[in-house]
Amino acid sequence: MPSSSPSSTPSSNRVVFLHGLFGRGKNFTRVAKELSPEYRSLLVDLPNHGESDWTDVVDYRQMADSVAETLRGDFAAEGPVAVVGHSLGGKVAMVLALRHPELVSRLIVVDIAPTKSGGEEGEFAHLLDSLAALDLSTVERRSDADEALQEAIPWDTTRLFLLQNLRSTEDGYTWEPNLELLRTSLATIGGFPDADGATYEGPMLWIAGGRSDYVREEYTPIMRELFPSTYKVTIREAGHWVHSQAPETFVEVLREFLERTGQD
């Protein structure tokens, strides 16, 4: 889903955004608008999310290859582009850079590391179970779902974020993400595939949320082993959803990196 920026934008000024678990490309709409018109953006719905196809398994290599195929077909046909990935999307972005470095001019990974993500599997299992348990046949409007989920998911921001995935059809409401597959694949989602000796030598920005524990100091050696040109920035006022919790600072940091590395 490209932005409305001119199609003549050079590949060096093109940016791909990959969302996290439960997300969709539109989550980065505000950031893409802030980067326009200097940068043209592609907002991707990853497999099993948004309007993308469902798959039989969750596999980071397959997801990265799927994104690579999309980029080669159009957005990166004229040269490598910058890739931004948050959480799940950050892992896909890292695997993409390792497997298809010719497509990635610059890599930006937001609040995730190329390691097993500890601690969140139980939280995500609860959220997925809560969504799956909702009887959609009783939902006549989105507010019905919101009310039904309040006890299981009492945090308004989290609940409203998840409800973005509820789609109205002629046959009633349905969930766009493949909830069953995501639920059974949480161990895979929380992990990271073997890099098989590959490294990505291009410029890499690692953005951490200061109120999140997804990026820890002990993860730095493995990040620098796979991505030797890593530059880390911590946005202190943000938690895990850095781009939505501190949007102004996030855009400022992202733009500065894009402009600096685009001149190299």
Q: Confirm whether 252 is a catalytic residue.
A: no
Fold for domain 11-117+192-262?
Answer: Rossmann fold (3.40.50)
DSSP string computed for the chain: -B-SS-TT--GGGEEEEE--TT--GGGGHHHHHHHTTTSEEEEE--TTSTTSPP-SS--HHHHHHHHHHHIIIIITTTS-EEEEEETHHHHHHHHHHHH-GGGEEEEEEES--SS---S-HHHHHHHHHHHHHS-GGG-SSHHHHHHHHTTT---HHHHHHHHTTEEEETTEEEESS-HHHHHHTHHHHHS----TT----S-EEEEEETT-SSS-GGGHHHHHHH-TTEEEEEETT--S-HHHHSHHHHHHHHHHHHHHHHT-
Catalytic entry in 41, 52, 87, 244: 87
Q: Confirm whether 243 is a catalytic residue.
A: no
Q: Confirm whether 240 is a catalytic residue.
A: yes
In the chain, what are the domain boundaries?
A: 11-117+192-262, 121-184
**How far is Cα 159 from Cα 156, in angstroms, rounded to an integer?**
5
Catalytic entry in 3, 240, 243, 244: 240
Q: Does the pLDDT of residue 117 top 80, yes or no?
A: no
Catalytic entry in 123, 180, 201, 259: 180
Q: pTM for the complete prediction? A: 0.92
pLDDT digits (tens, 9 = 90+) for 40-94: 999 999 999 999 999 999 999 999 999 999 999 999 999 999 999 999 999 999 9
pLDDT digits (tens, 9 = 90+) for 133-182: 999 999 999 999 999 999 999 988 889 889 999 999 998 999 999 999 99
